[in-house]
Amino acid sequence: MPLTPSATRDLLAKLGHLPKRFLGQNFLVDGNIVRKSLELAQIAPGDVVVEVGPGLGTLTSALLTDGAEVWAVEKDRTLHAHLEETLVVEFPSTFHLLEGDAIEHPLAALPADRSAPFKVVANLPYAISTPWMDAVLSGPLPERLVLMLQQEAAQRYSASHGSKQFSAISIFLQSAYDIAPGHKVASGCFYPKPDIESYLLHLVRKPAPFIFSPETKALIRACFQQRRKQIGSLLRQNIADSAHVSAWLAVLATAGLSPQTRPEDIPAPLWTQLSGTTQ
């Protein structure tokens, strides 16, 4: 079971550790949310799971106890040392812990021979959620992700075209994953309590997921940085080859969209078709 708020406070004091806001250190203290995370991820004995920012090991312990093999990356040296002295000792063959930055090691140094298939279950540090997600979407792709996120980030990732929240990361994510029912999480489920609401985002890999090339990702990001501009002028501004621009616009035309369409109004599936014209 997760530590209570008072037990969490006591353990942090014993470690001489103050939660670091810049690392998003809000520790989960609600056992129901831990179980919900494992339930959504459909954790079974033998599953290979990546965890980001295991912290005090609340979620990690539940994953390991349920028989998962966990690969985790923890940036905080004090918390890494605590996990080395506890869960690494208790689960020496199934807990693989890396001290490092999740942006540099988005899959916690998961070996290639352990990545087919694998899952991600994590209370993701909110400050790194989008760059981390962007890195993961470059592949190899986990078959399922259950991520504790700031509710605003979860809404942005799952936003539909035509909304102000629809963005480049929405396109990259929705081209590879279906968004399954998740779970809202109150701030009282953490110690210390964050100032925002959280959400368990539940993603299931599509049967034929699409991964954008770095070049096309850069182009789509550039379009959304000027999202109020029309797509025709954005393409001419960002693509040197006029033939490629014409090809993009032809794809849009077959979908009933004109060069005056704004990026946020183009559905995610169309961007995957457009990407082929930039190669």
- Give the number of other CB atoms < 10 A from CB of residue 272: 17
Detail the residues annotated as belonging to a binding site: 26, 28, 53, 74, 101, 123
Query: Same fold for the domain at 5-205 and the one at 214-278?
Result: no
CATH number for the domain formed by residue range(s) 5-205: 3.40.50.150
pLDDT tens figures, 148-191: 999 999 999 999 999 999 999 999 999 999 999 999 999 999 88
3-class secondary structure for the chain? CCCCHHHHHHHHHHHCCCCCHHHCCCEECCHHHHHHHHHHHCCCCCCEEEEECCCCCHHHHHHHHCCCEEEEEECCHHHHHHHHHCHHHHCCCCEEEEECCCCCCCCCCCCHHHCCCCEEEEECCHHHHHHHHHHHCCCCCCCEEEEEEEHHHHHHHCCCCCCCCCCHHHHHHHCCEEEEEEEEECHHHEECCCCCCEEEEEEEECCCCCCCCHHHHHHHHHHHHCCCCCHHHHHHHHCCCHHHHHHHHHHHHHCCCCCCCCHHHCCHHHHHHHHHHHC
pLDDT average, residue stretch 201-213: 97
d(CA 54, CA 102): 11
3 has pLDDT over 70: no
pLDDT average, residue stretch 223-230: 93
Tokens standing for residue 35: 């179980």
Detail the residues annotated as belonging to a binding site for S-adenosyl-L-methionine: 26, 28, 53, 74, 101, 123
6 has pLDDT over 80: no
pLDDT average, residue stretch 41-58: 96
Instruction: Give the per-residue pLDDT at 118.
Output: 98
276 has pLDDT over 80: no
CATH of 214-278, one of 1.10.8.100, 3.30.450.20, 1.10.10.10, 3.40.50.150: 1.10.8.100
Instruction: Quickly state the pLDDT bin for 28 (edges 50, 70, 90).
Output: confident
Instruction: Give the per-residue pLDDT at 194.
Output: 85
Residues 6+ apart with CB under 8 A from 85: none
21 has pLDDT over 90: no
Domain boundaries in the chain? 5-205, 214-278
